[in-house]
């Protein structure tokens, strides 16, 4: 019987690094993003619709044929990279290069390293994109609704695990897949969860100062580390809504922020 406690440091470190990088780039590119979206903000109704649309898409992916999913996601990723590049580079003929690189890698040189590389790139782009569109109010309402949807799709319908598995089998970079260290297994975290951590980090930083934003990223990463210890050393669940872990880490950081403000 193996009584050695298994744990993983790779996912918390990568999560913290990606989110911190996104926060730095967001503040460098925020004016360009505001210019791109003309300083508009997502309303509570729009944020609620976004969560509903995500839930519908997760369900449809389970039933859609693989080739159709592949075409849709390759197109969406390419368009997203092109628009983001246009906003940053200001030249459309330079902006077509990143999507071409992505498509070329996907069809001709795709492995776990390029899969994770583009998963990180898309995570950062999405965080920077939407970080400029949310307000503090829409952020916490969106977080609440997204967590509820995640719980339903994981524990009630089971569609979250099915759709994620289907897209990963197609090689679509919808998650980061890391070898756990020092534990001898693999860890998967979806782009949606990474985006949520980035959104909470940016919005908390805008409200309470960038230091408190980074504290949010750190607190959520520590919460993920603790969750992984439980997950790796028990057989309580095979698939768990990571949004719950994210929210717990965020609430801990908000508690610390409140105590610091009182002092």
Choose among 59, 33, 19: nearest CA to 223: 19
pLDDT tens profile 124-141? 999 998 888 899 999 999
Residue 5: inside a domain: no
**Is 62 within a domain?**
yes
Return the residue matching tokens 């902006």.
95
Total number of domains in the chain: 1
Of all residues in the chain, the percent with pLDDT exceeding 70 is 99
Spatial distance between the Cα atoms of 175 and 191, rounded to a whole number of angstroms = 5
Does the residue 123 lie in any domain? yes
- pTM for the model stands at 0.93
Contact 36, 87 (CB under 8 A): yes
Q: Is the peptide bond before 182 cis (omega within 30 degrees of 0)?
A: yes
As given in the structure block, the two tokens for residue 207 are 């409200």
Q: Which domain holds residue 18?
A: 10-256
pLDDT for position 2? 55
Residue 4 lies in a domain: no
Strand 175-179 relative to strand 186-190: parallel, antiparallel, unpaired?
A: antiparallel
Q: Could you tell me if residue 150 is inside a domain? A: yes
Does 126 map to a domain?
yes
Instruction: Tell me the pLDDT tens digit for each residue of 8-26.
Output: 999 999 999 999 999 999 9
pLDDT higher than threshold 90 for residue 168: yes
What CA–CA distances, in Å, run from 55 to 84, 139, 145, 154, 163?
25, 18, 11, 11, 11
* Interval 47-67 mean pLDDT: 95
pLDDT digits (tens, 9 = 90+) for 82-120: 998 998 888 888 999 999 999 999 999 999 999 999 999
Tell me whether residue 63 is in a domain. Answer: yes
Average pLDDT over residues 187-192: 92
Q: Binning pLDDT at 50, 70 and 90, where does residue 1 land?
A: very low
Torsions phi, psi of 2, nearest 5?
A: -90, 115
- Asked whether residue 195 is assigned to any structural domain, the reply reads yes
């Amino acid at each position: 019987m193996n009584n050695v406690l298994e744990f993983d440091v790779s996912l918390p470190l990568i999560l913290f690094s990606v989110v911190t990088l996104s926060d730095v780039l967001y503040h460098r590119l925020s004016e360009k993003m505001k210019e791109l979206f003309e300083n508009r903000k997502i309303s509570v109704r729009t944020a609620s619709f976004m969560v509903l649309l995500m839930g519908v898409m997760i369900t449809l992916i389970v039933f859609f044929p693989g080739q159709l999913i592949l075409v849709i996601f390759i197109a969406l990723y390419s368009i997203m990279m092109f628009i983001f590049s246009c906003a940053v580079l200001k030249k459309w003929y330079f902006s077509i290069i990143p999507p071409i690189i992505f498509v070329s890698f996907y069809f001709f040189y795709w492995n776990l390293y390029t899969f994770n590389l583009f998963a990180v790139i898309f995570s950062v782009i999405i965080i920077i994109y939407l970080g400029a569109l949310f307000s503090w109010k829409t952020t916490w309402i969106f977080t609440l609704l997204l967590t509820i949807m995640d719980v339903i799709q994981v524990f009630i319908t089971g569609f979250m695990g099915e759709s994620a598995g289907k897209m990963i089998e197609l090689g679509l970079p919808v998650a980061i897949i890391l070898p756990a260290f020092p534990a001898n297994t693999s860890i998967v975290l979806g782009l949606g969860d990474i985006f949520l951590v980035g959104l909470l980090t940016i919005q908390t930083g805008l409200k309470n100062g960038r230091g408190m934003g980074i504290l949010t990223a750190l607190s959520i990463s520590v919460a993920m580390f603790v969750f992984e210890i439980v997950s790796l050393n028990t057989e309580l669940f095979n698939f768990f809504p990571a949004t719950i872990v994210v929210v717990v880490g965020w609430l801990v950081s908000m508690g610390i922020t409140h105590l610091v403000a009182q002092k």
